Structure 1
Amino acid sequence: MTDDITPHPDGAREALAPALRDVRAVVFDTDGVITDSARVHAAAWKVAFDGYLHAHPPDDPGQRRPFDAGDDYLRHVDGKSRLDGAAAFLAARGIDASDETVRAVAEDKERLFTERLREHGVDSYPGTVRLVKALRAAGVPRAAASASRHAGELLERAGVLGLFDALVDGGEAARLGLAGKPEPDLFLEAVRRLGAPAGQAVVVEDALAGVEAGRRGGFALVVGVDRAAGADTGARLLRHGADIVVRDLGELCAGGAPT
């Protein structure tokens, strides 16, 4: 998958933060970590959930408030498969939804997301690209992982697919029967494809379910990415399993990273 550029490991690891210099592989979540697509997912979920809540208001008036694309997204759907995310949010609003209802809401979100993706595309985060290139130069294998079936298309559209040695997306997860986050299956499959044990590898995630998955998987280091930069979002990532939290992955290149 990578564009073959010969790495120069001798001295190249000095361009990485100390915390990354001895690792054997790094697995990156896609949405919100590599590509600026989490906001597109959140916007699509908002339209889908608000439409459902309007048509089927919960019995408790306090549960009828619109979906919050910040807090509700982070708490209930970020990092999860569409079906798991739809079920989690509806349950949080006290809705005993059938499998058919969950599937219908998830399919509505999928349609909305696809329309927005095809119309507007997505960008990659410059700090992430900088770190991935530094890892490549240092000879550290890199994988992208995502519960989304759109991960490959997102990376291709952002022009960064060739920076990764492996990709495990939602389609592969379904084919292999991998459990969704917070179970670590997706990340363990990704690091297996890189040929490194989890205990010597890193997971990079922005979702609460994702950092929890990294912790459950026994990874040497779990890096939380706090894109929201809210009052307690960094603390939440730490509570769920992140070892360190950064706001931009460029901080993990030499000169500005935690150790």
Structure 2
Amino acid sequence: MLGLPAHVTACLFDLDGVLTQTARVHNAAWAETFDEFLRRRAEATGEPFRPFDPGDDYNRYVDGRPRADGVRTFLASRQIVLPEGDLDDPPSADTVHGVGNRKNVLLLHRIHTDGVLPYQGSVDYLHASRAAGLRRVVVSASANAGDVVAAAGLEPLVEARIDGVVARERGLRGKPHPDTFLAGAELLGVRPDQAAVFEDALAGVAAGRAGDFGYVIGVDRVGQADELREHGADIVVSDLSELLTGVDTGPEVLR
């Protein structure tokens, strides 16, 4: 059914890059945030300035992770350790939460200025999955997932949401840990093996595999099909519309 094994009755959708075209907005906000921090650090230390790579750095260290984890993981790749600080640190603070809050200010500005577009193939898939009786929940690391879902007009097509706010309140570990996806399945009243995970991030695909979910669909928007498969995707598609074509969806890459 809809490119899924027969035992799958629920769909757990990542948001940015899977349902909505906000991954590029996140990427741009991260690049602006990290480059400003790294440039100031280079001026203070005399070290050469090496900017954030919106390709490799974003995909390896930031994409799909909770905001603070993204800050820690990327800066660790540059051998930089910052104090944690507090959740409400000002965006100017050179702490993990301060840097993360700076990124969030830039992200919200871009979202409110430019709006949010869903992927049409994903909208079609949501309509088809609802018509087929499949359960549907958004599972996102973003604390702004509610705003994005609403801005993209997807609220009528999803039943519930596990996002960064819920994860913080419940102490759920971020991707690549499976906690948030497991919470999504629990919210829908299904076992993990009855649910399919839809993810574009390497960390998210790894989380789907770590949780022993019934099927893990990698969505390749940036040319990383091989890496998605290496991290645990059962199948890789470039758009969810490919799952509506009736093509045999075995463990191969549909291109």
Alignment TM-score, normalising by the size of structure 2: 0.90
Q: Do the aligned residues in 1 keep the contact of 2:62 with 2:74 (CA within 8 Å)?
A: yes
Flag structure 1 segments of 5+ consecutive residues without an equivalent: 1-12
In structure 1, how many angstroms separate the alpha carbons of the residues matched to 2:138 and 2:248?
Answer: 22
Partner of residue 92, structure 1: 77
Q: Aligned to 2:227, what secondary structure does the other structure show?
A: helix
Give the alignment partner of residue 47 of structure 1, picking from 32, 38, 42: 32
Give the alignment partner of residue 236 of structure 2, picking from 232, 245, 252: 245
Give the alignment partner of residue 134 of structure 1, picking from 120, 128, 132: 128
Q: Aligned to 1:56, what secondary structure does the other structure show?
A: helix
Shift of 1:254: 3.5
Partner of residue 220, structure 1: 214
Amino acid at match of 1:120: D
In structure 1, how many angstroms separate the alpha carbons of the residues matched to 2:47 and 2:79?
Answer: 11
Where in structure 2 are the equivalents of 1:171-250 lying within 5 Å? 171-229=165-223, 233-250=224-241
Give the alignment partner of residue 123 of structure 1, picking from 111, 117, 124: 117
In structure 2, how many angstroms separate the alpha carbons of the residues matched to 1:211 and 1:59?
Answer: 38
Q: Do the aligned residues in 2 keep the contact of 1:251 with 1:257 (CA within 8 Å)?
A: no
In structure 2, how many angstroms separate the alpha carbons of the residues matched to 1:75 and 1:124?
Answer: 24
**Sequence identity (%):** 47
Q: Do the aligned residues in 2 keep the contact of 1:91 with 1:97 (CA within 8 Å)?
A: no
Amino acid at match of 1:247: S
Q: Aligned to 2:20, what secondary structure does the other structure show?
A: coil
Q: Aligned to 2:105, what secondary structure does the other structure show?
A: helix
In structure 2, how many angstroms separate the alpha carbons of the residues matched to 1:77 and 1:249?
Answer: 23
Q: Do the aligned residues in 1 keep the contact of 2:8 with 2:193 (CA within 8 Å)?
A: no
Partner of residue 111, structure 1: 105
Is 112-121 or 20-29 further displaced after alignment?
A: 20-29
In structure 1, how many angstroms separate the alpha carbons of the residues matched to 2:188 and 2:209?
Answer: 19
Q: Structure 1 residue 168 and structure 2 residue 162: aligned?
A: yes
Q: Aligned to 2:54, what secondary structure does the other structure show?
A: coil
Q: Do the aligned residues in 2 keep the contact of 1:224 with 1:243 (CA within 8 Å)?
A: yes
In structure 2, how many angstroms separate the alpha carbons of the residues matched to 1:257 and 1:227?
Answer: 21
Instruction: Give the root-mean-square deviation of aligned CA atoms.
Output: 1.6
Aligned length, in residue pairs: 240
Flag structure 2 segments of 5+ consecutive residues without an equivalent: 86-94, 251-255
Q: Aligned to 1:74, what secondary structure does the other structure show?
A: helix
Q: Aligned to 1:96, what secondary structure does the other structure show?
A: coil
Amino acid at match of 2:31: K
In structure 2, how many angstroms separate the alpha carbons of the residues matched to 1:99 and 1:144?
Answer: 28
Amino acid at match of 1:254: T
Q: Deviations over 1:119-171 (max 9, x none)?
A: 11110001111111111111010110101111111011111111011111111
In structure 2, how many angstroms separate the alpha carbons of the residues matched to 1:197 and 1:168?
Answer: 16
Alignment TM-score, normalising by the size of structure 1: 0.89
Q: Do the aligned residues in 1 keep the contact of 2:197 with 2:213 (CA within 8 Å)?
A: yes
Of structures 1 and 2, the one with the larger relative CO (CA 8 A, separation 6+) is 1
